[in-house]
Amino acid sequence: MEKFSQLGLQAALARRCESLGYTEPTPIQKEAIPLVLEGGDLIGCAETGTGKTAAFLLPTIQRMAETPRPGTRVLVLAPTRELSTQIETSYKQLAPKGAPRCVNVIGGASMSKQNDALRRGVGIVIATPGRLLDHVERGTVDLSHIEVLVLDEADRMLDMGFLPQIRRVLALLPKKRQTLLFSATMSFEIEELARRTMHDPKLVEVSPRGRPASLVEQTAYAVPAQSKTALLLDLLEVERESDNFERVLIFTRTRRAAERLSHILEARDHSVNRIHADRTQPQREAALRGFKEGRTRVLVATDIAARGLDVESVSHVINYDVPEEPEAYVHRIGRTGRAGKVGKAITLVSPVEELQMRAIERLTGQAVERVTAHGFAPASHAHAGAHRASATTVAAGAAAPSGVKPFRALRRTGSSSRRSFRPRRAGR
């Protein structure tokens, strides 16, 4: 069994990992940590929940310890407050005593407390782009000496429209730096961002993109749109007798739907809370804390919780709405089936959402089992169409498990998981 010490990490950091229960590095950690220690740029492609945070934090902590200097040296950008907070938590767990202090710079939190932390001096800033630029405009953060830039969940940041802010941040950083870009997908936009901001990066790709976690059992219920709430209540209240819905994360497409569902569940005496963009940061933190500690059994959320939400023992993920982007499905259900435990993912599919479900199956290369709960069957022709769609996606998924083919710009450099990144020639 390979150990963290064999990756080039100092003994103190390796012992820190072992004390936290990390006995063996994950594939992304095995590939990325030695490359980050070398100081070069890196693109890490791996799905959520694969240990990417430790893959960039551990070698970065070591490099700061080897060449101690005052000032802010590391900047980590994340798309959501939840992910930024999760990275901060991981840093505090992994960093040994005496390591540089960090500050979490996110919207919705106290600006004055962030100002105080920045004035006292920090070695690493973990931030969402918007709040970071607020501090830049106020002159409370200095990015001119950044040595390492980490763009975590870069694909999600671009999806959320952060590219203009990222460009503004990049213009403030030194040209000579190490840049680490982690993403679940390698779209054209990610390729373009890498080409403009990185110097001869290596690509580490440790798992097929668009593949859900192997420990997640997936089921799709065919149901009329108007019956979704009733079916959800049936699952949580009736089926609980045969299936342990111990800790349930429910995803909706909109903030309004999250509010509506949480109020309905609360009226039925369910222990429930919600997370979405209209909630204040203290409200979001309290909801997540209650869910983690087991005081809340059901958490209703929009896709802001699809990444960066690290909660042990989520027994079920329920997609109340089929996500518009197939990749979001993989991230949503990745909240369960973690730490070697089997999880279950249930998706409520109305007839009009069947095409979106088929797109998910094409991305993952897997046909999701369709079932119908007694009393909740959609119209017969729609139901038959759902089963025909399921049969079709098996063949479609087998032939083309992913429609994204962005690798013409990447040249292999030996192993199948490490490659060099090269700009594409004009016209290709």
Query: Cβ(130)–Cβ(107) under 8 Å?
Result: yes
Note whether 108 and 188 are same-domain residues: yes
Q: Same domain for 174 and 259?
A: no
Same domain flag for 63 and 159: yes
User: So what's the pLDDT on residue 211?
Assistant: 62
Is residue 380 packed enough to be buried (19+ CB in 10 Å), middle (13-18) or exposed (0-12)?
Answer: exposed
Give the CATH number, domain containing residue 343: 3.40.50.300
* One domain, residues 78 and 179: yes
pTM: 0.68
Task: For residue 427, tell me if it sits in a domain.
Answer: no
- What pLDDT digit, counting tens, does each position of 293-320 carry? 889 999 999 987 776 566 777 899 999 9
pLDDT tens, position by position, 43-88: 998 776 678 899 999 999 999 999 999 999 999 999 988 899 989 9
Q: Which helix (H) or strand (E) holds 149?
A: strand 148-151
Say yes or no: 58 and 191 in one domain.
Answer: yes
For residue 327, being part of any structural domain is answered with yes
The count of structural domains within the chain is 2
Cβ contact 167:151 at 8 Å = no
Entry field: residues in the chain: 428
Q: Kindly state whether residue 14 falls inside one of the protein's structural domains.
A: yes
CA-CA distance, 312 to 302, in Å (whole number)?
19
Residue 337 has pLDDT above 70, yes or no: yes
Residues 183 and 250 in one domain: no
**pLDDT in the model for residue 258:** 95
The predicted-structure confidence for 80-134, as pLDDT tens digits, reads as follows 888 999 899 999 999 988 899 999 999 989 999 999 999 999 999 999 999 999 9
Assess if residue 45 is contained within a domain. Answer: yes
Same structural domain for residues 291 and 164? Answer: no
CA–CA separation, 83 and 87 (whole Å): 6
Q: Are residues 202 and 274 located together in one domain of the fold?
A: no
Residue pLDDT, tens place only, 232-282: 999 998 876 667 888 999 999 999 999 999 999 999 999 999 999 888 888
Q: Residue 361: enclosing H or E segment and its boundaries?
A: helix 354-364
Does residue 236 sit in the same domain as residue 195? no
Q: Per residue in 184-220, pLDDT tens?
A: 777 778 888 888 889 999 998 876 555 666 678 999 9
Contact 307, 80 (CB under 8 A): yes
| 142 SS3 class | coil
Q: Please check whether residue 79 lies inside any domain of the structure.
A: yes
Pick the residue with more confidence: 312 or 150? 150
The mean pLDDT value for 372-401 works out to: 49
Q: How far apart are CA 336 and CA 63, in angstroms?
A: 33
Beta bridge partners of residue 217, listed in sequence order: 344
Co-location of 156 and 292 in the same domain: no
Tell whether the model's pLDDT for residue 6 goes beyond 70.
Answer: yes
Residues 168 and 263 in one domain: no
**Full residue range of the structural domain in which residue 61 is found:** 4-209+406-421
Same domain, 244 and 341: yes
Q: What is the C-alpha separation between 99 and 5, in angstroms, rounded? A: 19
The crossing angle, in degrees rounded to 10, of helices 52-66 and 11-19 is 150
The answer to whether residue 318 sits within a structural domain is yes
User: Is residue 426 in some structural domain?
Assistant: no
d(CA 201, CA 223): 47
